[in-house]
Structure 1
Amino acid sequence: MARTPSNMLALGTLAPHFTLPDTVSGNTYNLNELCGKNATVIMFTCNHCPFVKHVNEELVSLAKDYQPKGIEFVAISSNDVENYPDDSPELMKETAITEGYTFPYLYDESQEVAKAYDAACTPDFYIFDKNKALVYRGQLDDSRPGNGITVTGTDIRTALNAILEDKNVPERQKPSIGCNIKWKL
């Protein structure tokens, strides 16, 4: 299992625009349609990565806790499905339904969106404020498969709570660690 860290896009970066298909609804959405009133969490994820499987339940819990508070969640898979068929759009839809995703699970076939966000791993998290400026990038929490630490989402929750309380998000942020994005050759 590869351990690839986030690239840590510069804080303050404006969210790169995108238009991508949602594997669950079949609709195509752009960034502006998916932004939350208070913040937007963009997650680069996939189906097969053990790091993602380890946190899936908490991702659903986070969304259910914060969507009613004006924070939207968007999952994006940018993996090469030719070489990693477990990440195909059909199986993305199946995963979203099985896991109970309450957010769109978008397919970035060209991988241009992952490149625009400088995403490196799955899972890789970005939180943008109501003005679409990056205020957090990095890990969900300190839990990793096999390290014995309970998945809590504490780093993301701390950032989201700061936004909701109109406070600054702590600038000390740890990179996420996960499987590398499976780039096309």
Structure 2
Amino acid sequence: MAATPPVCDFGWKAVDASLIGTDGQVHSILAQAGRRGLVVAFICNHCPYVKAVIKRIVRDARDLREFGVGFVAINSNDDTAYPADSYENMQRFARENAFPFHYLHDADQSVARTYGAACTPDFFGINGGGELQYRGRLDASRKEEGSPDMRRDLFEAMKQVANAGQGPREQIASIGCSIKWRESA
């Protein structure tokens, strides 16, 4: 089922946590930040919305480095009910897509709850001061691959954040599959 996250809560302070990455090491979320910002992306392995845009997510993560913006991806889905989102499948997905960023496993879903993540993909653009400045879409595509010349909403917003410390006031929410919550959570 498709879900849409709420609009950006400008100034919300990003919360840190340490999670295991697909490289087998534990990583701090906020340690992934560049000097001018960080994108925290909630994704998963099986979502058709994520699969349709994963190459562009990887491209934007690489391109944002030039602007001092780091990138980290987190999978918070219930991998018991959705085995395609298991840690082992996360490792495979990261390898197959040559992730230039850490892909972290939020096994207890506490990070997704803290951030208020609603869907995959769900992007949180943080400025150099650790404040939320973007909570929007990657681009105008949905479950389709989209044209290569499509406006890069996340990329353009994070360039603005890197340069001015503030995100655009007009943002279009991401859309994707809802986070798969554990029943006991």
Contact 2:75 2:104 in 1 (8 A): yes
- Using the alignment, how far apart are the partners of 1:38 and 1:167 within structure 2? 8
Kindly state the Cα deviation for residue 177 of structure 1 after the two structures are TM-superposed.
0.5
| Residue 69 (structure 1) aligns with | 67
Gaps of 5+ in 2: none
**% of aligned pairs identical?**
37
For residue 44 of structure 1, report the CA deviation from its aligned partner: 0.2
State the alpha-carbon separation in 1 of the partners of residues 159 and 49 from structure 2. 24
Write the letter of the residue equivalent to 1:55. Answer: V
The aligned residue for residue 16 of structure 2 is 17
The answer for the alignment partner of 2:105 in structure 1 is: 107
Within a 5 Å distance, the mapping from 1:3-152 to structure 2 comes to: 3-23=2-22, 25-146=23-144, 149-150=146-147, 152=150
Q: Deviations over 1:7-37 (max 9, x none)?
A: 33511100012111102x1110113321211
Equivalent residue pairs, number: 182
Q: Structure 1 residue 169: deviation in Å?
A: 2.0
TM-score, length of structure 1 as denominator length? 0.93
Deviation at 1:45, TM superposition (A): 0.2
Q: Report SS of the residue matched to 1:144.
A: coil
- What value does the CA root-mean-square deviation take over the aligned residues? 1.6
Q: Report the TM-score when normalising by structure 2.
A: 0.93
Deviation sequence 1:35-67 (CA, Å, 0-9, x none): 211110000000000000010000111111112
Contact residue 9 and residue 118 of structure 1 kept, 8 A:
no
C-alpha separation in 1, matches of 2:20 and 2:117: 19
Q: What is the rounded CA distance, in whole Å, between the counterparts of 1:87 and 1:167 in structure 2?
A: 34
Amino acid at match of 2:164: D
Choose 158-167 or 68-77, whichever is displaced more.
Answer: 158-167
- Segments of 4+ in structure 1 off by > 3 A? none
CA distance in 2, matches of 1:153, 1:77: 26
In 1, the alpha carbon distance for the partners of 2:165 and 2:29 equals 24
